[in-house]
Every structure is written in C-alpha cells, then in structure tokens.
Amino acid sequence: MAKTNYKALLANRMEQDFSKWLAQPHVQEREVYRFLHTMKGTAGTIGLMELSEFCGQQLDSFAEDSTELLPVQALNSLMETLKGFFASEGAVSEKAASDREEAPVKESFVLVIDADAQFAASVKEALEAKGIPVVIALDAQKGMEFFYTLQPQMVILDRTLPDADGFELVAQIHEATKNRFLPIAVISADDRMENRIRSMELGATDFLAKPLDMPFFTAYVSNRLRSQEGLSHGSLYDELTGAGNRTYFNQVLQQTAALADKTKTVFTLVLLDLDHFRKVNDTYGHLAGDEVLRTFSALLLKMKRESDYFFRYGGDQFALILPDTNAKTAAALIDQIRSAFAETGFSFSLSEPFQVSFSAGISEYRQKRDVPVNMADSALYQAKQNGRSQTIVSERTADDIRRHLNLIIVDDDSLVRRLVSKQFSGWKPQDFDLRIEEYIDGASFVESSWYKPEENYMILLDGIMPKMDGLEVLNHMRSQYPHENIIISMLTSRNNESDIVLALKNGADDYIVKPFYAQEVVARVERLTMRMFK
C-alpha cells in the first residue's frame, strides 16, 4: 500500500466516528478523550504532524475518566476543525510520510538504572528527543540483565537502588567492561565528596548530582558517546586492516558464549588463514603482503552480515564470530566470500598478476563444554592438510532447532497495527521464524488462547483501549505468565505521565511514545529480544 493512502484511511475512520456521534444526542467525555488520544498518535506516525499537535492540545480540554455526557452540538466546532486538516492538500506530503517511516535509527543507546520511574522517564524523554535511544531498568536485577544482554554504549545508574547498592553495580560493570571504555555515570541526590570519590575509585567515569540540568545532561551524554566510540575503535581494532584485534576477539567471544549459555542459542566461530602467505611476502615484499591483508579484510567487512564480528586473529589469520548462526549457514557465507576473493587479482612492480586463496575451519558452539577456538583450529588444520583453499566444519553435529518469535500487536487503532505489521513483514531473522498476530483490543487478546510455554513473545501493547486498557492487560500478563519468554513494550501517546511510570513499575520492559518511526519500533524489538535470540 502506498504511504499516502494512510491519510485517506485515517480520514475515513474519523468520519465513521463522527457519524456515530451525530446519530445520538450526547457523547461521553471519555470517548472524546480516547478519540483525540488515538488521533494524536496515529496522525503523527503517518506524518500529519500539525494534526497530531492539535489533537494533543485538545486533550487538555477533556477528562480521560469522565462519564459526563456532552451535547453533540457542542462538538461541531471541533469536528469541523479536524475535517479541515484533511481538506488541505498541504497537510502532509508523500515525502513527509516517507521521512517518518525511513528515518535512520542510531545504534548507540543508553541504559538507565534508577528506581525513580518518573525521573528515569524524564531522562528517556530528553535523550530520545536528541536521537539517543534509552532502555530503563527500575532495579539492579533488571539492570544487570539488560547490561549483559543488550550491551549498551553507556550506563547511568543511581547510587541507591531497592535491591542492591549502586556502588556494587558500578564495580561489576567496570570489571566486565574495563577494556571497552564504557562510560558509567553515577547519579544521586547525595553528592557528598565521599560518594563522588567512592564512585571514581570503583570505576565510574562521572558523578552527577540530582536534580539534573537537562540541557547540560543531554550534551554531556552525547559527548561521552562520541568519546566512547572513538576510544573503543582505537584500542580494539587493527590499524592495518580495520578488523577487530585479538583483545576485542577475546572479549566478544566471552560475551557471545555467556549469552549463548544463558539463552540456550548457538553461534559459530570461523578461523580463516591465507594460503601460502609467506611466499607473497618473500616474493613481492612486505608492502605487497600488507596490501593483500588490507584487500582481504575489506572484502570480509563488506560481505559479512551486520550482526557478525570480524577480527585479525594474528599475522595472516583472521576470525569471524557469527551470533545466532549454525555451521551450515556460516559455511555458505564463507563459500560466497571465497568465490569473490578468487576473482581478486594482485600485481606488484613488474610481476605477473596472481591470486591468493584461503582455508577456513568452522566450529558451532552449542553448550558450555564446547571449546570453539580449539574446534575451529582443528578444522582449519584439517583444511590445510587436505590441500588448502577449502572449508572444513568441525565434526560434532547436532540437529538445528528452529525457534519462533511471536510478535503480538494489541492496539485498537487499525492504522497503527497495519503500519507496524507492514514494517515487520520486511524483517527476516536468520534462525527463527517470526509470526505476527494482531488484536483489536486488550479484552480480545486476554480472552484468546495466545500463549504456548515453549515459545517466545514480544508484545506491543497500546496504553489506552476500550473495554480493557493497556495497564490492565499488563498487570494480568505479569501475574499470570512468566517473565522469561515474554517481553512487553507499551505504546502510548503520552510523554512522561503517570501511565508511563505505572507501566514501568508494573513490569513493562520498555515503552514507545507515539508518534513513532515504524523503523524505530523494529530496531527496539530487535534489541529487546536479544535476550531470547542473539
């Protein structure tokens, strides 16, 4: 469906609502509030920003829970004004809608660990207004789970948490990331010098006193993220090839194995060795050898998937770590790289053109007793013994288990459901099947037979719906179902209000404020589901 059709669909749905109002003498005030709330979120999502802002302003004139009956004739002016937004051809352009749907999502994100949900929500609002995604945890347990599974680019945590001493978390995070230059900021209303000193001694990079000056704070976070990116790249990457270095390899391998153990998933390690590379150096010189290494690395960096990690393991040996990937899939990727590298010709000085091949050993990690480096190294040795220029997969095999992620969209707004479903229809996870289900309201979702204990779920839950609102559904789910295989993100048109705070306190893993970029929703779902599928 063309993006511009969403405007017509929204106009038609609005006219249907108005027809229902006009068929009766009175309308409940809360029904008008709910209508404006929905219009605000949907209009902004499809690019009708002026309409979205107008509906947001009108919400202040109506009470969400009021059952007072309003004369329909008193709503005539409001209805005519809303119709005017659709009569104007300039209300939205195809480019505006496209810009919202295709806007880029930045990779860096911040983890905020703070028991004060209202404060955490305000931090999230301020940073995301600057394009910096934020994930919130209201206690230490949730915070450390997010830290290990999501691998944030910065951590901001309060000195006092309900289930742990904030200083203990600083020490744990610093120990786990001492080679990553991860910014760790301690925030507290108690800014005594001993607390500041203790924070620095344990590995924090900063101590910030509450209340925060938000303009300074957002600039500070942006600064730290830029610095972290520069420092990490300089210390973790090989200068000649641009591949990750041995230190970075060890760090990623350890983290990937720990996550695989926790989530019971697999990953694959590939060791690659250039064939007869010493002969290249001896025949053409070390400058020529360096050029071969750079060319090979550039090809790998271009052809690997975005989720894969590439390293210079040592000399002319390289490594690939492929998260959530089985050996068969890894071998197919290596075959593609081999074919592309075989077409690469080298010529130095007056020498005849020549090609360089490589050998590869692959190991698939499935359980703690596996030693992926030794397994891949043995397979690589076998490949070289067998004549080089080939790939050998470690002999241990196991049946590949196909898993599922059920994405459930619960929203009474059909346009929002359609937009989100459309965006996810283009998401093709490699080793699990994505199933998308839609429910028109909370009651129909709760009453359905949606849950299977052996499967995993990501639920996008609207905050305000008829019959049963999002908070009621959230409370029902957290009381009736386990947390491990269900992740819940609230969708709301409110920003930093009581329902956001209640959602976080009652077990929501995240919330997304309408209007949103549909692409942003996909990125957040990918990030949040990493604990189930890395």
H helix intervals, 46-116: 49-58, 76-87, 94-102
Residue 146 has pLDDT above 70, yes or no: yes
Average pLDDT for residues 316-321, to the nearest whole number?
A: 95
Query: 360 vs 269, 305, 391, CA distance in Å?
Result: 10, 18, 5
pLDDT band at 423 (very low <50, low <70, confident <90, very high): confident
pLDDT band at 430 (very low <50, low <70, confident <90, very high): low
CATH of domain 402-534: 3.40.50.2300
Q: Retrieve residue 405's tokens.
A: 């992620």
Q: Match domain 246-393 to its CATH number in 1.20.1740.10, 3.40.50.10490, 3.30.70.270, 3.40.50.300.
A: 3.30.70.270
Residue 517 has pLDDT above 50, yes or no: yes
- Domain residue ranges in the chain: 5-101, 105-236, 246-393, 402-534
pLDDT score at 351? 77
pLDDT score at 309? 94
pLDDT score at 148? 73
**Type and span of the H or E element at 267:** strand 267-274
**Type and span of the H or E element at 423:** helix 414-425
pLDDT band at 263 (very low <50, low <70, confident <90, very high): confident
CB 55 within 8 A of CB 36: yes
Average pLDDT for residues 428-448, to the nearest whole number?
A: 84
pLDDT score at 88? 55
pLDDT score at 6? 75
Helix (H, G, I), strand (E, B) or coil at 46: coil
CB 82 within 8 A of CB 39: yes
Q: Retrieve residue 308's tokens.
A: 């894969």
Query: What is the C-alpha to C-alpha distance for residues 275 and 391, in angstroms, rounded to an integer?
Result: 12
Residue 94 has pLDDT above 50, yes or no: no
Q: Match domain 105-236 to its CATH number in 3.30.530.20, 3.40.50.2300, 3.20.20.70, 2.60.40.10.
A: 3.40.50.2300
Percentage of the chain lying above the pLDDT 90 cut: 35
Residue 16 has pLDDT above 80, yes or no: yes
Give the angle subtended at the CA of 175 by the CAs of 150 and 314, to the nearest 5°.
80
The pLDDT mean for the chain works out to 84
User: Strand pairing of 486-492 and 510-513?
Assistant: parallel
Average pLDDT for residues 394-400, to the nearest whole number?
A: 54
Per-residue pLDDT tens over the stretch 111-138 = 999 998 888 888 998 998 888 889 999 9
Q: What are the counts of helices (DSSP H) followed by strands (DSSP E) for the chain? A: 20, 17
The residue type of 59 is L
Query: What is the C-alpha to C-alpha distance for residues 42 and 6, in angstroms, rounded to an integer?
Result: 10
Q: Retrieve residue 478's tokens.
A: 């957290």
User: Helices 117-128 and 498-505: crossing angle, nearest 10°?
Assistant: 110
DSSP string of 451-514, one letter each residue = --TTSEEEEEEES--SSS-HHHHHHHHHHHS-STTEEEEEEES-SSSHHHHHHHHTT-SEEEES
Laid out side by side, the sheet with 267-274 consists of: 309-314, 317-323, 267-274, 358-365, 391-393
Q: Active-site residue among 114, 316, 412, 510? A: 316
**Type and span of the H or E element at 287:** helix 286-303
Dihedral angle at the C-alpha atoms of 303, 307, 308, 312, nearest 10 degrees? 100
CB 470 within 8 A of CB 489: no
Query: What is the C-alpha to C-alpha distance for residues 187 and 490, in angstroms, rounded to an integer?
Result: 26
Do domains 105-236 and 402-534 share one topology? The answer is yes
Helix (H, G, I), strand (E, B) or coil at 301: helix
Residues in the chain: 534
Average pLDDT for residues 360-377, to the nearest whole number?
A: 85
Residue 182 has pLDDT above 60, yes or no: yes
Tell if the pTM clears 0.85, that is, is over it.
no
Per-residue pLDDT tens over the stretch 450-499 = 998 878 899 999 988 888 888 899 999 998 987 778 999 988 876 656 77
Per-residue pLDDT tens over the stretch 30-76 = 889 888 888 888 887 777 888 888 888 888 888 888 888 998 888 98
Active site residue 370: no
Give the least confident one: 148-157, 192-201, 322-331: 148-157
| All residues at 6 or more sequence positions from 430 whose CB lies less than 8 Å from its CB, including other chains | 324, 325, 329
Distance from CA of residue 356 to its chain's centroid? Answer: 38
CB 260 within 8 A of CB 252: no
Helix (H, G, I), strand (E, B) or coil at 434: strand
Strand partners, 187: 158, 208
Other C-beta atoms closer than 10 Å to the C-beta of 339 total 9
